[in-house]
Amino acid sequence: MNLNIETTEHETYYEIKVAGELDVYTAPELLAVLQPLHQKGTHDIYLNISDVSYMDSTGLGLFVGTLKELNKHNRELYVIGANSRIERLFDITGLKELMHVNAEMEG
C-alpha cells in the first residue's frame, strides 16, 4: 500500500498528514519528507496519523530518529490522531513518555 503525505508549513511548526500503512516498505517515503525538515531544526513537527491504519516497529523507529534530531535543535515532535491500537504501541514501548502522543495542535 502507498503512503499519502501532505506537508504544511506554519510559522513555528510543520504539519505532516500521513495516510495509509506505515511499515518497512513505506517508511522511506516518510523519512524522505521528515529528514530535511528536522535537519533544518527551525520548527516543531506535528505528525497527524489519524488516517494511518497500520504501523509497525519501523514506523516507531522513524519517529524516535526524528525526535532525536529535533531535540538536537530544542524542537519537539507531536504525534496526533493515533488510533487506540497505534497509541498502545507508543504506550507499551515507553515512547509515549518521550514524545507528545495525541497532543493538541497549535492554533
Give the per-residue pLDDT at 97: 86
**For residue 98, pLDDT beyond 90:** no
Residue 91 CA to residue 76 CA, distance in Å, equals: 18
Cell of 85: 491500537
How many CA atoms lie within 13 Å of 7's alpha carbon, on the beta-carbon side? 16
With a cut of 60, say whether residue 107 has pLDDT above it. Answer: no
- pLDDT tens digits for range 24-67: 999 999 999 999 998 888 899 999 999 999 999 999 999 999 99
In the chain, what percentage of residues exceed pLDDT 70? 94
Q: Which helix (H) or strand (E) holds 89?
A: helix 84-92
Q: What radius of gyration do the chain's Cα atoms show?
A: 12
**Phi, psi of 87, deg, nearest 5:** -60, -35
